[in-house]
Each structure stands twice: as C-alpha cells, then as structure tokens.
Structure 1
Amino acid sequence: MRTWLLARVHLGTVAVLFVLTLSACLLVAGLPRATQASYDEALRRSLTAAPAMQADLTVAVASGSREEDLRERGQFDSRERLWREILPPDLRPLTRATGHMSAKTTLTPIAGTSGGAFINLGWLSDADRRVDWVRGRAPGAPATMRHEGETIPVFEVGIVEEALGEMDLRLGQTTIVGENDYAAVKIVGVFRAKDPGDRYWSHNADVLHVIEQQPPGGQDHVKHITTLMSDAGLTELSGEGRHLTYRWVLPLDGKAAGALAAPALQAAVTEFDRVVALQSAGSASRYHVETGLPELLHDFLAELFTAQTVMYLVLGGLLAVALGVIVLAVQLLADKLDHTLSLTRARGGSLRQVAGTAAALTGLAVAPGALAGYALSYLVPGPVLPIVHAGPVIVVVVAVGFAAVRPALVHRRPLHERRDDVAAARPSARRVTLEVLVVVLALAGAYLLRARGLSTSAGQDPFLLVVPIALTVAAALITLRCYPYPLRLLVRLTSRGRAAVPFLGLTRAARARSASVLPVLILLPALGVSVFAAVVSDGIAGTQRLASWQQVGAPIRITSEVEIPPAAIERIRGLAGVQQVVLAQTGRVQVGYGAERAEAIAVDVAQWRRILGDAPVGLPALSDGGALVSPELRGRGTLEIGWQSRLKLATRGLIESVPGFYAKGKFMVVPPSVQLRLAPNTLLIEGDASLAALERLVPSATVTSQEAALRAIQDDPLTSTVRWTLAVVTGALAAYALIAVVLSLVIGAAERARAVSFLRTLGLSERQAQRLTVLEILPMILVTALVGLGLGLGLPAALGPGVDLSSYAGDLPVGDYSLDLFLPSALAAGLAAVAVLGAYAHTAISRRSSLGAVLRVGDLT
C-alpha cells in the first residue's frame, strides 16, 4: 500500500500528529535540560557563597615533638604534591591548581597576663602576595635573647594594623609569650591585606582580625591575634612546647561543580580523609581533612530531592498527557484509515499488512516530529541527560505501537460487523474487583505517605512518585464507572418532559461506550497536574512573601549596634519616599536578679502595627506598663527586668515571634515609656525610600527592606526553577487539555453526524441539532473537569509532608494552599467553551453535506 499517497490524502491529520509530536519531544527533552542546568547553578552558587574555610579541602596535622616539626618550605611542598596525587578522581576537577600552606600556633598567651591576651605565631606560604607592609618592614630570620637565665628564640613578626589599637601593641615592641617554653615576639612590621574581601582570608581570619573569645567558665572575653613570620622562622618554630598545627589548603572551584556529581562528591571527601589518614603511619599525630563540604552537599541534596520530586510529578504528568493526546491523534488517523483498511482486509490483506500500513503512516508523521523536537531541545542550555535521548524514543514507540496494535485488533476478521449503538456489557466481577483494589491501594498509599513522611535515606523516595499516579488512576476509574448514573437520573427526569432534545442528548451521553469515554479522560490528569502545579506555585509565592515580612518586620528596617543620632533620624524623616518612622531600641536584658537573660525590644506597638498595614504578619495590641512575652517566658505573671533601670512589667500577652527580630528563645516586647530614655538603635520605616540614600545617611547601620528580602528568596536558582517549571507545565497541560477536547470532538464526528442526520430526517431542526450535540459531549467534559480540578486541589493535601517546599520559601513550611479558584475556574470554563464551540462548529460543517451523503458514510452493504 502506498504510504505516501495515504499521507497526502490525510495530510491534515498527519500534520496535526507531526506538530503534537514535535511539541511533546521538545518539552520532554528540553525541560529536563533546563531544570538540570538550574540545579547545577544552584550548587555552584551554594559552594561559591559559602565561606572558603567551609567549602575548601584542608589537610591538617598537629606537631607534638621536634621530630614531627617541618623546618623548611620544601617539606610543605612535597606533602602538598602528595595530597594532590591521592585526591579521588571526583574531587580533582574541582580543586584549583594553586593553594596555600600555613603553620600556626594557638592559645599562645602573653606572659604575665594569666591567659588574658594571646599572640600566636603564624606563617603563610603566600603572605608576600596577600599583604602590603604599610609600616616597618617584612619579618626576617629569628634571633635569640636571654630571659630568666635561659636563651629563648626571638621571632620577628608582622602584625595587622587593626591589632595595634585593639591589643595595645606598638611597632618595635618585644613581647614574651608562653607559659613554660618561653619565646619572644618582636613586632618589626605592620601590614594590611591587599584584598580583605578575598575568600582566602576565610582560612586566616585570625591573621587579619583580632578574635574575641569567651573561655569556658570565664566571664570576660579574651583577645587573640596571629602574627606573620618569615620562612626562616620555621627553623625555630616547634610544636614541642606549644600548640602548633600545619595546614595545606586545596581551594575548591565551585563553578566546576555539577549537581549530578554531588552524591559522589560526598563519598569522595570521605575517601580522601581515609587515604590522608593512612599517611600518618609511623607518626604520633594523625593527618586529617578539615572541610564543611559534606554538610554543604547534604543541605543542597535535601533541597534538590524536594525540587526533583516536584519536577518528577509535573514532568511525569506532562509526559503522560502528551502521550495521551498523541494517542488520540493516532486514533483519529486510524479512524480515517478504517474504510481503506477494511477493504484491504476484505480483499485478502493480512493483519501484518494492515498493521504495517497504519504504523508506517504514523511513523511518517511522528518520526520527523520527534527528530525536530529532539534537535530543538539542544537550543536549551543544560547538560544532556538520559531522558533527553529516551523521551523522544518513548513518544515514537508509543505512537507507532498504538497505531500498529489498534488496527490489528479491530480488523481481526474481515468485514466484522461492529455495533456502536448498543449499551456496553456489564463489567466482569474480576474487573470490578481489580478496580476497587486500585482505589483502595491509592487511598491507603496517600494515608501512609502522610503518616510516615518522606524518606530520602536512599535518594529519591519512589513511594512519593507512585502515590500521585495511583490517585490519578483511581479518580479516573471512579469517574468512568460513576459518570453514567447521574446522567441516567437526568434522563428519567427529561423523559417526562415534552422536549425531545434534552432526552436524546443526555441519553446518548449516558450510553457512551467506554472506548469513546476514555479519550476524554485525558483531561483528568491534565487538569489534575496543571491545577496541582498552580496551587503549589501560589503556595510558594504566598509563603515567600510571608517569609520576607518575617525577616524584615517592616517595609524598610535600619539596625545599628549603637544609638542612631537624633539628627540622622530627622534627616531620614525628611527623605523622599519616607512616610513614617517608628523608633525602637533592642537589647539584652537581665530577667530577675540571676544570670537569666532575654532579648527585648522597646517600641510603640500601635505605630508598628499601622506601618505593617495588610502585611501577612502582625502583632497583638500592647498597653503601657505591660509586655508581650515569648512562650519560654509564659506563666511568670509580673516580670522584673534590668534594662537602664529595674522594671516590673505585667505579662499582657503571648507572642510566638517578633517579625524581623526574634523567632525562638526568650524575648519580649515592651512599650518605650518604660525606658528612662529611649536610645533608638532600630528604625522601622514605612515608604519606598531609596536604600542607598538611607545607607548614606546612616553609614554605620544596616539597611534592609521587605522587597529586597523577597527578591533574594525568589532569585535562588532552585526556587526560580521550581516556579517557572510549574508555570510552563501549567500552560502546556492547559493547551493539551484543549487539544484533547478538540480531538475527541473530531474522533466522534462521523458517528455523531450520522445520528444527527437520521434525526433531521425525522424533523430535527438545525438549532435543535446544535443543542443535541452540546448535550451529548458537554456532560462528560464537565464531569471530568470537576474531578480533575478536585484532584489537583487535593493532591497537595494528600501528599502532605512528602513535599517539603520550605527551602524555596525562606525556610518556612508551605502548608497554606489557599483555594484560589480563579485559574481552575478559567481552565474549566475554557474547556467548556471549546466543547460548545466545537459542537456548534461541527453542526455548521454538517450543514454543508446532504443528508443522503452523510447517511451513506461507512455503509458497506
């Protein structure tokens, strides 16, 4: 049989099948690439934004004796080459070629201070490239001096400029350090970092800044500073009498990381630590790897699993619906070939010839479409995943397979008479039992998923992927079985009336065979997944807005560690865009007379509530002389606190959190009138003033806004990926749902035209024929649309804790899926409108054909 001739005869249907295949293959191959590219970008941003000390790989070892001391740079270099040689293959592409090495002492006290101040000795392998000497000179070789009858080494060191004032040191000063094994430190130079913002200084913050620490059990903070010495100083630096640690830093290139390799990186870090530890053989000190990379990868993978779960659900639903629509188009093509294939079979054609002809014609349409969609997917940036290759193949195999199997089943016998106008037979007991079992298992799966939560111990939880599919199948089965019963009730009611059109239309709809009803059920997963995507997207958006308000607590907030001067406050009040300024003072107060402490904010709550307006956060009213307290301070009646003076405050209410300030722990909100003098260090501003202008007015303060916080949450790569993917899938599924309605109308057009033509010979008018067609097709579409909407609205609640989207909403749980019925109503209305328009278009087209021609269509006798 001539395939090209058949393609030319049925060119319109072939073209529709080509376009549907192209769009499906483009979506199924392009969307995974785009989502994976965003996953990679999210991991790279996470590793790049993390402190270098947390992301980099650092090999460390403590020296406890002179035999373990490293005396020269060459010894450091040889070990660095060793660490790079034994790096696992998964880590090698991520480590930069140049790192740095260090030798530092810790807890080296200044003699005579009883541990009140510490000057540590340090050496950096690349200090000459990292610092500028602003005073004095670079350190030289160590010398010796006499101290308490002993000869001790004198280390020439440089010190950061900040430490001179902080620790009361001066250039040229010589200080004795140590408790038993003394040494002298002579400050010969003062340096300044060439680039203080370089990630490099994350590893060496103790060199660049004075570190204040509170020792265990101590009351006061002590100050630490690490000095810099020359290479020659290594000859005298020993761990025998002090705490000395050597480190080799292998910097991580976060831009080279990929999300697919993240699980392997975790295992590689563990393996690297094991191999490094093996190099400790024969040494009293153990080499080990210091890094926070596994924790970073663990947090990222937790977010990634959630993102992938949502993506699998919506993309899997999109693929299923796309395949269903393509199958509908193939069925339409098969129906158009039915007469030709019947003649072929009657003239002695084999089933293989019949099936091969249908498959070849379908392949002629879908194969070029699949290739075109596959090629266009390469325009989408991102890595090539297995689904990129497998997706188009699945589409082609399903389409061609259905095209081959269906004619083979229909034309098993030549000229086999098929009656489409009788009621379908009752389903067997076995089939009913199987369908009931599917429904019960789906409901049980949803309950178990909510009860046990999400399991990510072995990666993606397959249970979470199966339950939505089972719920969709269960909803489809229930709809298919229960759909005729309410229609039959309507048929009984309309049979008592005098009008024939409602009775005939509803009767034909109620007697529709399963084979004619099943194509329309493609609408159910299409609407279910699209509404689910829309609901989840709206839930994320609403929670993101809530999180931004909870982070800031006002449209604009200015916080300072010191009191903001009144003159600056007045300038802020006069700034363009500032509508209202609320003064607040935060601090840590004493509760009672013991060591208990709590966070407190003194603010006019009434003014604060006014500037919050319709924000999703709020505060209860507070009267003078009272306090709003956190749950940790509940039940205490009158509180006595120390803050500027001793105050007694009655508890006026309980507050779970203070927006922009406190979310847990012990805290309270008090009116400003309880203070002797309000010393504002926080400003809550209503308006849209320029943040840059506010920063210029108060240079020492931090300025944040609710809009900036919201943008920061939304701009996260994983967050934006989830939202735009949901939007794309929602639009695609809505389009497929409309196409499914149109195809279902076209598939039944011939049979419907034949029935209407018979009725028109009995006196049915054109207007009555239009109403009859609408009543025949509209009930099933409306019922399926309602079930699909219910499924989509119920899926978020059914999945429950299985989909934790807090990572994309400012770490707040996304649980308030408000029923915004605008989009669901729009989808249902659109489908109904398409069905009605299709019915009227069908009857309009049918008018052009004579009744005799229509009645002879398909008549072989």
Structure 2
Amino acid sequence: MAAPTAPWVRTRLRTAPGAAAALGVLVLLAAFLAAAFPRAVAGYEDDGLRRTVAELPPHRAVLAVTTAEPGIGRPDSERAQLLREDVVRDAFRTVHGLLPAPFEVDAHASSYGVRSTNALAADETWLPRPDRRPARFQLYAQGALAGHATEVTGRLPRKVAAASEVEAAVTGPVAERMRLKPGSVLHLPAGGEKRITVRITGVVTPDDPAGGYWGIDTLLRTPELKHEDPRDPESPRYWLAGLILPPDAAPVLLQTDGKPEQYLQYLPDGSDLTASDLPRLRGMLANMTAGQGLLKAREATNAPYTFIASGLGDALTSYERLRSGISPVVSVAAYGTATVACIVLLMAGGLGADRRRGEFALLRSRGASLKGIAGRLGAESAVVAVPAAALGCFLAVRTTDHGTLPPAVLGAAAVAVLACAALPVRALFAHRTVRMQAERDDVATARPSARRTVAELTVLVLAIGAIVALRRRGTGEGDSLVALAPVLVGVVAAFLLVRLYPLPLRRLTGPMSRLRGAVGYLSLARAGRAQAGAGTAVLPLLALLTALTTAAFGGSVLAGIDAARNRAALLATGADARVALSQPLPDGTAARVKAVPGVRDVAPVALRTDLRTGTGRQVSVAAVDRAAYARLSRHTGLGAFPVDALAPVAGGKGPVPALASSSLARRFPDGRLTLQVNGQELPVRIAAVRPTTPALADDERDFLVMDAAGFGRASGTTTDPSTLLLTGDAIDGDALRKAAGSGVVVQTLAAERARYVDSPLQSGATDVYVSAVAAGAGFAVLALMLSLARATPERLALLARLRTLGLTRRQGRRLLILEALPQALLAAAGGTLTGWAAIRLLAPGLDLSTLALADARSAAVSRLTTDPLSLAVPAVCVLGVAVGVAALQAWWAGRRGSVKELRAGESA
C-alpha cells in the first residue's frame, strides 16, 4: 500500500476526536478497575492477617523456647553457670538471630529468664488459705523488670550474698490478694527440711498488663485460685501467685524443689505482615518447632531438652480457612465483571469498525492489505489506549495502599492489549474478502454458517463439560472453575437464546403484517435486523447475561449474608432482647423490664441445666409461662407450638407434658422418659418435638420445655424465672440494662447482630464484592447502550423518512420502543434464568458462614439461597434502560431537522 500523504493516526484522531476520547475514558475505567482489584483484595487480606496476629492473646502468639531443667545430670556448679543472666541473655539473642523474616520480633514485649515449674508451698499462716490449703508460689527470674514497671512501691529486688536468701517483687494484684507488702518474708521449701527465705522488697505496677511481658504468663501479674484436682470442681482450693526475682538470682532456684526451666519468649510484631508472607511464615514456624531451627536453638541453649512451641500456627490456619472460604465468593464477582468489561471493549472496537465499514471496504477495493490496515488501526488504538491504561494503573496504585505492583501492571496491560486489538481484529474479520457493498443481514431469515455452528458447539461442549465437572466435584475447592460458573452459564444461555431468538420473530412476522397499523410490523422487522451481522449479536447478549447473573448472584449472596447474621443473632438471644441471671431474678424485675419503651411482651423462663434423664443423659429444662412462650415462639419462628401442647394433665396427675428437642425425642421413641429432680424421678411425656426453642436456641444440649406451674407442682421445686425473653420494636438497650439492675446480663438483638461485622477480612471482602458487582452493572448498561447506539444513525434516518410519509412523533417513539423491547426482554428473561441457574449450581457447596459470621457453629444457616428481589430488580433495570434509550432517541430525532438524514446518497 502506498505511503499516505498525511500521517494516518493524526488524521483519523482529528476526524473523530469524540470516539477517541470515549475509547480513552473506557480504557481508563477498565484499567483502573483491573489494577485496583488485586490491590484491594490484598488490602483486606493484609488487614485481616495483621488483625489476626494483633488480637491473638500473648500466650498464644508467642514463640516460646523452653529448656527443661538446664544441665540436668551435671554438677550443680555447671548448672548454676547455665542459669546466669548473661548466659540466658546471650541465648535469647542467638535464637533471635535464627528467626528469619517475615517473623519480626516485638523486642519490648519479648522476655527471657528462668522460672520454677513446680509451685512451692509457703509456711506462713497469715497468707490466705481457702479450704485450709497453704498458698503456693512460682519463682520467676525474668530480665528487664525495671523497663516494664511504671511505679515501684519500695524498691526492685537485688541479688544478695546469702545462698539461702533472695529478694523478690510482686505486682499490685498479687500483693493485695496475698497480703504482701515491702518487708514481708516468705519461707519456701528447699529440699527436705531446708527452707529459703524470700523477702518482698517492692510492689510494681505493670506498664502494659495485657502486653507480652506480663501477659504471656499471667501468673506473673495475677494470682489464681486453683483446685487440688483440676478435674474435680469440689476438690480443695489454694492460691497460686508469682514472685519476681532479680535475673542474677536464677541459680537459687536450683536449691528449691521447683524444677527450674529456662525460657525465651518472642512475641511477633505483625504490623508489617502481608498475606503473601503467609507461606514463608508457616514454613518458618514449622522449621523452628520441628526442623533445623530447633536443632540450632538447642545448640544456642547448650541443652538437648530444648523445645519450641507457638499457637501462632493455629491462628494462621484459621485465617487461611476464613480466606479460602471468602475467596470463591469474591472471585465470582471479579470474573463476572472482568468478562463484561472485556465484552464492552470488544463491542467498542466493533462499533468503531461498523462506523468505518465504508472506509475499510474502499481501502480493500483499492488494494490495501489486511496486514497494512490492521497495523494502522492498531497504532491508532494504541495512541489512545496505552496512555489511558497507564493513567488508570497510576490512579489505582495511588488510591490503594496494599499489594504489589506487578498484578496491577499486568491487569492494566491486559486491558490495553485488548483495547488495541479489538478494532483491528474486528476489521480483519469483517473485510477478509473484498466487498463493495455491505450485505443486509436479518436475524429472522439468516441461516448461520457451518463455521459459526462448529465454533458455537465447541464452546458449548466445553462450557457444559466444565459445569458438569463442577457439579460432580463440588464447589468447595475454591478454584477458578467455581468463579467461572456464572460466566459459563451465561455463555451457554447466550448461544441458546441467540439461536432461539429468530423463532418467535418468524412466527409473528406474518400475523403482524396483516394488521392495519404499520408500527407493529415495522418494529418487529427492525428487531429482527442486525446490521453488524448475526454472529455479533452474541456479544451484547452475553454481556447482559453475565452482568445480570453476577448481579443476581451478588444480591443473593448479600441477602444470604444478612439473613445468616440475623439468624445467628436470633439464635444467640432467642428474642428481641434477653435478660438473664445465673440465679432467680430479683422480685419486680419483670415489671420494670416490661415498662421499658419498646417492650411489647415478656416471657419468663426458669432455666435448669443440671438435670439428667433416668438414663443419665444431661438435659436442659426450661420452665415457662406456656401462653407467653408460645407467642414468643411464633414471633421468632423458633419452634412454634400450640399452647395447649403444654397444658397440665387434669387433676395434676400423670406425666408432665413437654416440648422436646429432636435429638432427645429420637432417644425416646415412645415419648416417655423420667427426669432426676432433687433425688426424685419425675415422669415426662413428650407432647411436641421441635429442632430449636427460643430459651435454649444457642445451647447444643438436649432440651425440654414445660409449663412452669405444672413442673413446679409435679417436682415440688420453685420455678422463679432466671431469664426474661422480650419482644418489641426498637428496644432501648441502655434503659433495659438500667431496669434490669446490676449484675444482670442483658442482650439485645441489634447489638448481637452488629457483632458479626468485625473482621477486616469479612467487611473488606463484602466491600470489594459490592464494588465489583456495581462495576459490572455499569459495564452492562454501557454494553446495552453500545448495542443500541450501533443502529442510532440508521434509526434517525428511518424516522426522518417515515415522517415524510406521515408518521407522527408519538408513533415514532412507539416504533423505537417496540423495536428495542424484544432484545431487552430476551436479555432480562435470560439474565433471570441464568442467575437462578448459577445460584442453584453453586448453592450446594458454597458456604457463606465464613463471609457472614465469626462463629462457625452457625454455618448450617448460612447457605446460599435464591433472592427473588435480586433476580427481578436487575432484569427490570435492563428493560428500563432499553426503553429509556429508545425514548431518548425518538425525542432527539423529533427535535432535529430531517435535512441531514435525507441527503442524497445517505445509506439506510
């Protein structure tokens, strides 16, 4: 092809600056979203990981290195050397150097020292002695005490020369509970009849009681009341507290029966952690707890019995489980939005190729090669698309704080490549052969080519095969196939609907031609015509179906999350509000509570969780006012029952009727059982069976619900209520707590519901999901407008010609609206069906509990279900946009003159 006299790109951009600007804006938006999405996902994942590490209690987050009885089997002099402060400090620093990134140590919160593992009983009788058991102490020779205490009453302990005497400090809570003060003296066993003297020299105030230095071993700052037998709550009790010795007094512990151990405690600093660091962090923990790192730590401590443990690994596993449950849901919106955005870019290229069809046909007729045309069109698109994509990537990086740069650059580059290739590829396919005039293509009468049929069948087979494989394998694995399911359903539906679309048009063309008015026939004929070719009708339809499916799926997900949280909150409270005490409530509590604004009804309940059946099975019993409780059950939907089911037997004789849990009823199929109440057997008859009940909705044990009056007479016990279940609207929580009194636990449904939006991983994923669905909806509207704009010049010319034949403006508006309705109805109906199909496809294996709830026990109520509103609203919006655009085109055509449209030589 001969060299042009003027540069191609400059000439074409000057000829159509509006189209170039529109392409630039479209590429800018698409590149911004493509670059921002991975960074937004990385943002909430990073925040979730950092919150997980930051909120982990110190005793679980710490990487604890312990050496059991250092130097065991060696002479006491060598063992004493191993417990010296400088030796322990050097071991602390050496092991610290073994901890690779990304495990960053919080140096201020970490600690080291020597402690006794056996508690030592004190002889002093003035110490508190519950159940006449002497108080016991554990000794801590922990370093850097002065740097972690804000106040000191007395002075800090120092090393003394006497081998049988040592100084110690205690915290305020220990001093108060154990009756210690500066100058107090304790005598602790040192083997046989020997004793060591511990003199209290100071009472310290921790600078951060919940921090790592004081919070890893809470006995260091807070005394504990222990049982002689931890498994028997009735066994004698004793007080256990910690005494803080100076670090260089650690060798004294060898003289006691405390079996000292060396400990090095490293608390992680997770402020700079990212989700991409998770594999390396888990590998480091595995290496330190059971790999080469452990062997090196044993060399550093010069002790073969050195062990390393941390609860951080379990927390990371929980985080990964939560993230893996959330990722498939978020990727559904990502894949759907990406598909719609790609289709819109392809449609924009197709619209540009259609607009310049005559130009390309003329070039081809004069000998221009496909390669030459494609190169110039690619350069023309690149001049606009590449800077726009770069700007979109820059804005995405500047507006997001997390994530690495490569994913953002790759996303923006993919958008730029697609935008640059859309116009040349579309022009190449349209002008493979030289044509002087475009052929008319009518969907209603055109017959698809064999090549198109093979291509469609190939895509259909692949899509159906993937869907079948997904159904057989399940949707719990979280791979890309799960996220692509809505897109695959949309592909299948689009091809099927495009094939079925001509059938009703052919059926209706004949009857419409026999009607008196011409508007109906013209609109039907116009609806069947596709100027750009029947094959390209799949693109706008696929965009709309994918967007509608994603929007419907997203709406159902959000509705499912909201329903799951409401259900979990209701199970936790059992009513709109709950007032409870471990013992019977004070007299008058019910009356005061009922007077609180917003309270409509009160159901008193007496709860007993210590009863057993005749077979020894533990069961929870709720003695209720049957009328109020029946109203409450109907209001909450938790095990509603007829009030007469719990009516006592006439005369007060016979078994007490009860409402039983499903699990308990299965154990007593005949409906008869006995309860052990105050050493007597109480016969019970199961009158109704329900899976749950308001008073015990969050209790996993078997339950029985009985009428309070009947239960009290039959068992001879009082049934004063310990719980009040309230129903009402907008109950004031503060007023309710004030009316209930001090010491009473008050729960409201609204406060419990708000508890489930805490995790950054959950809230961030929800925000990203909503944003992706909104972006997909915006691209879908743009796809619809592009498909309608493709025929705008022809429509305006048609209306101008018809107006010269007497067509009124009202009839012109009806013509354009009726012309747009078939395709809009097709997209709306198809989108509703594909959305329903995608939800049914993914629902069996998609668990929303990780995205909705913090409590995994509520997973059973967190399955994805179809939300009718989410299916209907997007479909109605498509119809509204189609009708609105058609009406706007008719209004614009009425305001413009007809001269331009009726010029000689203007093609229709």
Check whether TM > 0.5: yes
Q: Do structure 1's residue 654 and structure 2's residue 689 form an aligned pair?
A: yes
SS at match of 1:628: strand
Q: Do structure 1's residue 515 and structure 2's residue 527 form an aligned pair?
A: no
- Cα distance 1:131–1:316, how it changes in 2: closer, same or farther (>3 A)? same
TM-superposition CA deviations, 1:558-588 (whole Å, max 9, x none): 4444554336666555555555554444443
Q: Is the 8 A contact 2:175 2:203 kept in 1?
A: no
Deviation at 1:401, TM superposition (A): 0.7
| Alpha-carbon distance in 1 for matches of 2:833, 2:617 | 53
Q: Do structure 1's residue 557 and structure 2's residue 578 form an aligned pair?
A: yes
| Alpha-carbon distance in 2 for matches of 1:776, 1:44 | 56
Name the counterpart of 1:406. 426
SS at match of 1:394: helix
Name the counterpart of 2:557. 536
Deviation at 1:78, TM superposition (A): 0.9
TM normalised by structure 2 equals 0.82
Name the counterpart of 2:411. 391
Deviation at 1:168, TM superposition (A): 9.9
TM-superposition CA deviations, 1:7-27 (whole Å, max 9, x none): 233233223222222222222
- Cα distance 1:136–1:603, how it changes in 2: closer, same or farther (>3 A)? farther
> Which deviates more from structure 2 when the two are superposed, residues 690-699 or residues 778-787?
690-699
Q: Do structure 1's residue 103 and structure 2's residue 114 form an aligned pair?
A: yes
Name the counterpart of 1:230. 245
Q: Is the 8 A contact 2:85 2:113 kept in 1?
A: no
Deviation at 1:418, TM superposition (A): 3.2
Deviation at 1:80, TM superposition (A): 0.8
> Which deviates more from structure 2 when the two are superposed, residues 10-19 or residues 51-60?
10-19
For 1:809-848, what aligned pairs fall within 5 Å after superposition?
809-810=852-853, 811=856, 812-813=858-859, 815=862, 817=864, 819-843=866-890, 845=892, 848=897
Q: Is the 8 A contact 1:57 1:249 kept in 2?
A: yes
Deviation at 1:314, TM superposition (A): 0.8
| Alpha-carbon distance in 2 for matches of 1:259, 1:524 | 34
Q: Is the 8 A contact 2:386 2:416 kept in 1?
A: yes
- Cα distance 1:102–1:12, how it changes in 2: closer, same or farther (>3 A)? same
| Alpha-carbon distance in 1 for matches of 2:707, 2:187 | 51
Q: Is the 8 A contact 1:30 1:378 kept in 2?
A: yes
Q: Which amino acid aligns with 1:728?
A: S
Deviation at 1:695, TM superposition (A): 6.5
| Alpha-carbon distance in 1 for matches of 2:273, 2:310 | 16
> Which deviates more from structure 2 when the two are superposed, residues 677-686 or residues 734-743?
677-686
Deviation at 1:46, TM superposition (A): 1.9
| Alpha-carbon distance in 1 for matches of 2:825, 2:50 | 47
TM-superposition CA deviations, 1:135-166 (whole Å, max 9, x none): 8876665899xxxxxxx956665666667898
TM-superposition CA deviations, 1:437-467 (whole Å, max 9, x none): 64455445445434433455xxx52332343
Deviation at 1:74, TM superposition (A): 1.5
| Alpha-carbon distance in 2 for matches of 1:852, 1:677 | 93
Name the counterpart of 2:216. 203
SS at match of 2:843: helix
For 1:285-434, what aligned pairs fall within 5 Å after superposition?
285-385=304-404, 386-421=406-441, 423-428=445-450, 432=453
Name the counterpart of 2:664. 633
> Which deviates more from structure 2 when the two are superposed, residues 463-472 or residues 540-549?
463-472
Deviation at 1:294, TM superposition (A): 1.2
Q: Do structure 1's residue 711 and structure 2's residue 744 form an aligned pair?
A: no
| Alpha-carbon distance in 2 for matches of 1:546, 1:770 | 49
Q: Is the 8 A contact 1:104 1:122 kept in 2?
A: yes
Q: Which amino acid aligns with 1:71?
A: L
Name the counterpart of 1:149. none
| Alpha-carbon distance in 2 for matches of 1:366, 1:50 | 47
Q: Which of residues 457, 461, 481 in structure 1 aligns to 2:479? A: 461
Q: Which of residues 500, 505, 509 in structure 2 aligns to 1:482? A: 500
Percent identical among aligned pairs is 24
- Cα distance 1:66–1:139, how it changes in 2: closer, same or farther (>3 A)? farther
| Alpha-carbon distance in 2 for matches of 1:520, 1:760 | 30
TM-superposition CA deviations, 1:178-224 (whole Å, max 9, x none): 89797557574785753544454432223313153574765634546
> Which deviates more from structure 2 when the two are superposed, residues 346-355 or residues 738-747?
346-355
> Which deviates more from structure 2 when the two are superposed, residues 338-347 or residues 716-725?
338-347
SS at match of 1:298: helix
Q: Do structure 1's residue 781 and structure 2's residue 797 form an aligned pair?
A: no
| Alpha-carbon distance in 1 for matches of 2:903, 2:880 | 27
| Alpha-carbon distance in 2 for matches of 1:543, 1:472 | 28
TM normalised by structure 1 equals 0.86
| Alpha-carbon distance in 2 for matches of 1:191, 1:574 | 49
| Alpha-carbon distance in 1 for matches of 2:189, 2:392 | 73
- Cα distance 1:613–1:732, how it changes in 2: closer, same or farther (>3 A)? farther
| Alpha-carbon distance in 2 for matches of 1:382, 1:133 | 41
Deviation at 1:76, TM superposition (A): 1.7
Q: Do structure 1's residue 23 and structure 2's residue 36 form an aligned pair?
A: no
- Cα distance 1:41–1:3, how it changes in 2: closer, same or farther (>3 A)? same
Q: Do structure 1's residue 525 and structure 2's residue 546 form an aligned pair?
A: yes
Q: Which amino acid aligns with 1:857?
A: E
Instruction: Could you tell me which runs of 5 or more consecutive residues in structure 2 were left unpaired when the two chains were aligned.
Output: 1-6, 124-128, 649-655
RMSD, aligned CA: 4.0
Q: Do structure 1's residue 566 and structure 2's residue 579 form an aligned pair?
A: no
For 1:719-738, what aligned pairs fall within 5 Å after superposition?
719-738=762-781
Name the counterpart of 1:267. 283
Q: Is the 8 A contact 1:131 1:191 kept in 2?
A: no
- Cα distance 1:656–1:78, how it changes in 2: closer, same or farther (>3 A)? farther
Q: Is the 8 A contact 1:3 1:360 kept in 2?
A: yes
| Alpha-carbon distance in 2 for matches of 1:506, 1:306 | 48
Name the counterpart of 1:691. 734
Q: Is the 8 A contact 1:167 1:223 kept in 2?
A: no
Q: Is the 8 A contact 1:539 1:818 kept in 2?
A: yes
| Alpha-carbon distance in 1 for matches of 2:146, 2:614 | 53
> Which deviates more from structure 2 when the two are superposed, residues 225-234 or residues 637-646?
637-646
> Which deviates more from structure 2 when the two are superposed, residues 309-318 or residues 194-203?
194-203
SS at match of 1:849: coil
Q: Which amino acid aligns with 2:240?
A: I
SS at match of 1:566: coil
Q: Do structure 1's residue 742 and structure 2's residue 761 form an aligned pair?
A: no
SS at match of 1:418: coil
TM-superposition CA deviations, 1:66-90 (whole Å, max 9, x none): 6466422212211110111000222
Q: Which amino acid aligns with 2:673?
A: T
Q: Which of residues 787, 792, 797 in structure 1 aligns to 2:835? A: 792
Name the counterpart of 1:119. 136
Instruction: Could you tell me which runs of 5 or more consecutive residues in structure 1 were left unpaired when the two chains were aligned.
Output: 145-151
| Alpha-carbon distance in 1 for matches of 2:702, 2:433 | 82
